[in-house]
Structure 1
């Protein structure tokens, strides 16, 4: 059994990863080496920010539990509002922009395959695929 306290086991450790531009912080609670077959994160998207993301190597499901923002599908131009209770899944490796709204947005995220934990988006918004 794996039990983690985000305040004791994640925040302030190498499992708390900050965007190079300051747009988000990812608190990585379950990682690849823990053998669950997925990784599990809490991500805070800062208000009034824009992040380009294109997970070419991963699928991601995201559930908003606080705050607001929007996601823009770059293939179609479609924009979806995100707020407490909204889930979105990037089931087609969707190229998108994620916008923080009027307040910080708190997201619960699952990645498949799981990430190792030290990943940052590259210049194309991609996490590398780890062996």
Structure 2
């Protein structure tokens, strides 16, 4: 059994802050945990507006708090995000996430992340990034 506290994980190397200042992510489950997915609590800062394209991963995102929108780049559709909303990037969707207020998101990645991933120039995570020590 794996038991972790979000508050303790935030004080460790499991807390990753994006170089561009749009988000921070506390990675509660990672590839090394051996459960087949990773699980993160991510904060998207107010005013963040950035493109992503997870070419190597599928992601499910559940909004715990805050408000914003996700726009799919291929068709230009905008979807409001508020507490209780889930969106799933099941087709490696190119998308833009905008935070109208600070958002707390619960995120699941498959395949699981190693731990130190931040977005590359295409808005993706590399498939095999460095693990957290």
TM-score (norm: length of structure 1): 0.96
Deviations 1:20-74 (A, max 9, x none): 1111001100000000000000000001111211000000001001001100100
Alpha-carbon separation, structure 2, partners of 1:38 and 1:49 = 26
Please report how far the alpha carbon of residue 122 of structure 1 lies from its aligned counterpart in structure 2 after TM superposition: 0.3
Alpha-carbon separation, structure 2, partners of 1:61 and 1:21 = 22
Deviations 1:69-96 (A, max 9, x none): 1001000000000000000000000001
Asked whether 1:5 is paired with 2:37, we answer no
SS of the residue corresponding to residue 119 of structure 2 reads coil
> 1:104: which partner in 2?
102
User: What RMSD over aligned residues (CA atoms) do the two structures have, in Å?
Assistant: 1.0
> 1:15: which partner in 2?
14
> 1:114: which partner in 2?
112
How many residue pairs get aligned? The number is 129
> 1:89: which partner in 2?
88
Within-5 A mapping of 1:33-52: 33-52=32-51
Q: Which runs of 5+ in 1 are unaligned?
A: none
Provide runs of 4+ in structure 1 moved above 4 Å: none
Deviations 1:83-131 (A, max 9, x none): 0000000000000110111x20000000000000001100110100128
Asked whether 1:64 is paired with 2:42, we answer no
